[in-house]
Structure 1
Amino acid sequence: MKKLKKYTEKPVIGPIIKRVIDFGINREVKTVARHFSKYLHPLVAETPELSKESFKIRHDVYCEELGFLNTSDNGFERDEFDNYSTHCLIQHIPSLQFAGTVRVVRPETAKHSLPLQTYCADSIAKDKINPADFAPYEICEISRLAVPKGFRKRHTDKFEGAATAVINKEIYSENELRCFPFIAVGLYLSAASIVLENNIKHTFVMMEPRLARSMGFIGIKFEKIGPTVDYHGKRAPYYINPSLLMESLTPGFQVMLKEIRKSLKHKE
């Protein structure tokens, strides 16, 4: 009896399904990006009043909620790096409340350093890229990202009573609720816009490895440059540059970055 040839051709259903899923995800992200621009407004803290809003959010999150830093009598959290940082806020348009903040620490002279260099220099592996290898104006660090509790709740949470830290579905629309998980992403993309606008070549950040993995899913691929250490929780040093960002950022989030750059009045 003649033997049948074994079928060795690779099935194509897997890649097809992946393309379909990717298409669906990108379409969903583009939809969220449009909603993001409708309900949330990124802005640079260019006035003392806006800077105070940033310091207040940081105090609420880092000092009172998480207990990573000591509380202050004035309700603001700030340090020496704020003197040469660009601060960014995201404002919820309907309520005018601020939904998050982040800063980009930008050294100007050799006397300035990054928080990473000051507190976690030993966490950078010797064979990895190091901020000390570059001129001060070529480097920056994204830090103090903070999102208030009320804007971290998902629409699946139960609303009981009038707790101020919970999003009341009677107040916020479904489209607004879909944007809230993207506030942290919006803050990172706002920081990226600041980096691109100022032609900063090398960006460093201390972050939780699970957050770095989450950012990787959307195409913000940070390179881990050292082991995880205990610094405001379990964190590790990471690196990214504009080329790595733009090469890997998924199409949906490219739309979101474009909208954020427009909102911040940064050139494309």
Structure 2
Amino acid sequence: MKKISSFADNPVIGGVVKKAISSLASKDAKNISEHFSHYLQPTIANSHALREEVYRLRHQVYCEELQFEQTNSVHQEKDDFDEHAIHCFVRHLSSKQLAGTVRLIYSRQPDELLPIEKYCAHAITDKHIFPGRFAREEICEISRLAVPAAFRKRAVDNFAGAATGAIDHTTFSATELRCFPYIAICLYMSAAAMSYKTKRYYGFVMMEPRLAKSLSYVGIKFHQLGDAVEYHGLRAAYFIDSRELRKTLSGGYQSLLKSVEHELFGELSEEMLLEPNERLLGWSL
């Protein structure tokens, strides 16, 4: 796939290459979606105990592994935005470990800013799309996506030890190993599903341009709002309308999205046009 993707920006064959990548990814995703729920379960963190698990995972990834934030004695990474965010995580069922997390931040008051407005407003130079253009109750921000090292890398040779962050393929099955690269995609889908369900359709996020490009191959099309800036590495501001995602997502990933929605919302997964009822969904907002 890496050799193929290197030709994606070629002005002559780039279009064909992108279609080939999308087709291959869609076919693989259709197969993966049939197995994903056997190994990995997306869940809303709708209790104090579950949210503390999320904060501990974020400390592991953001403070210990990536060193974006300072470590602390309680081993939890939290900020003021957590009080007005819906938290979601993916659990690896056989080990019970959290394999990833993401949050969807919203505004409680008309003057309450999203993190991207408070800290990265200079990254948004698009004159047509910016948070202030939309009703405050219809915007949100995808934030704090974290996948621990053990689930970020696939082992291709013998296990070198836990310190390397590699996956011990003597512990995980071959099918599980194939599912692991889909965790980040699953988290973005979870965020989009929560955005759609609560009618906070207009989502903003700071992310690496290469990640946005990779996600576009599967139909998760973020619109870049300005040049990349320094923010824990080079990142740019992006926008996505969760209603449009359902139109652009490639075939195989539609199946994965349905699986994610079923796990998150249960019997409510088919009732996407209902007025958001957060108590009914079990969200502690």
1:175-254 residue pairs with structure 2 within 5 A?
Answer: 175-254=175-254
1:46-57 residue pairs with structure 2 within 5 A?
Answer: 46-57=46-57
How far does the alpha carbon of each residue in 1:175-205 deviate from its partner, in whole angstroms, 9 at most, with x for none? 0000111100010001111011111121000
The alignment's TM-score, normalised by the length of structure 1, stands at 0.89
| Shift in Å, 1:24 | 4.8
| Shift in Å, 1:147 | 0.3
Output the amino acid matched with 1:267: S
Corresponding residue SS for 1:107: coil
Deviates further, 19-28 or 186-195: 19-28
Alignment correspondent of 2:269: 267
Aligned 8 A contact 1:128 1:225 in 2: no
Q: Rg larger in 1 or in 2?
A: 1
Alignment correspondent of 2:59: 59
Output the amino acid matched with 2:188: Y
1:93-242 residue pairs with structure 2 within 5 A?
Answer: 93-161=93-161, 163=163, 165-242=165-242
The alignment's TM-score, normalised by the length of structure 2, stands at 0.84
Q: Which runs of 4+ in 1 moved over 2 A?
A: 15-27, 160-166
| Shift in Å, 1:50 | 0.7
Inter-CA distance 164–231: structure 2 relative to 1 (3 Å threshold): closer
Q: Which 5+ residue runs of structure 1 have no aligned equivalent?
A: 1-14
Corresponding residue SS for 1:171: coil
Inter-CA distance 132–169: structure 2 relative to 1 (3 Å threshold): same
Corresponding residue SS for 1:70: coil
How far apart, CA to CA, are the structure 2 residues paired with 1:197 and 1:149?
Answer: 30
Inter-CA distance 157–198: structure 2 relative to 1 (3 Å threshold): farther
Output the amino acid matched with 1:101: T
How far apart, CA to CA, are the structure 2 residues paired with 1:164 and 1:251?
Answer: 35
Alignment correspondent of 1:3: none
Corresponding residue SS for 1:264: helix
Corresponding residue SS for 1:267: helix
CA-atom RMSD, angstroms? 2.1
Paired residues, what number?
A: 254
Output the amino acid matched with 2:224: K
